[in-house]
Amino acid sequence: MERHAGFYALFTVAAVIALVVARSFDEHGKFTVGSSYRADAPAVIISEDGREELFIRSGAGGSFIAEAIIDGADVTVLVDTGASFLTLRESDAKRAGILLSPDDFNSRFSTANGYVMAARAEAEIVDFGPGRIEKVTVFVLPDDRLEVSLLGMNVLRRFGRVSFDSEGLTIAVN
């Protein structure tokens, strides 16, 4: 028994690692270990005047995290009224079928952390809750320069009124 103890210890460690890795992917195949951004689709509510509105509950630190569908790909986004454009992480853009070469990263882009070279592209369709907009300018940043994709004002303006309170963010769907 003692001569097999090393084998049993190694087998136990391998089994634990396999279990952790297997549980590290969400239902869409996204790797989630270490990610502090968990998102759901925005809730649809009906306003007093009968119009559809999207509601996103305030998350950690008052941020608004939700799922958007960009050219058919589920993308976790931070709704950011301080961002001028829909800004995607390179990995999110790739999953959405926006394929870029290193030469495409030729736009100097200002971020909260300084300037970075970005690629300008276009998303054909952005679905956010029941709202859909087409032909949306996006900027793509390298993953190491953007922690989460940003849903910026070029998208929010096309949806309608945006308001927030202590509960969350409400976006009118035109």
Domain that holds residue 46: 36-172
In this structure, the answer to whether residues 167 and 82 fall within a common structural domain is yes
- Buried b / exposed e along 33-43 (16+ C-beta atoms within 10 A): eeeeeebebbe
3-class SS of residue 40: coil
pLDDT, one tens digit for every residue, the chain (174 residues):
556 544 444 344 333 343 333 444 444 454 443 345 566 667 777 877 777 888 888 887 788 899 999 999 999 999 998 899 999 999 999 999 999 999 999 999 888 778 999 999 999 999 988 889 999 999 999 999 999 999 999 999 998 788 888 788 888 886
Q: Please state the pTM of the whole predicted model.
A: 0.74
In this structure, the answer to whether residues 68 and 91 fall within a common structural domain is yes
Beta strands across the sheet bearing 162-164: 43-46, 52-57, 168-172, 162-164
In this structure, the answer to whether residues 93 and 22 fall within a common structural domain is no
Alpha-carbon span 10 to 14, nearest angstrom = 6
In this structure, the answer to whether residues 7 and 53 fall within a common structural domain is no
How many domains are contained in the chain? 2
Range list of H helices, 23-103: 90-95
Q: Provide the token pair at 10.
A: 């190694």
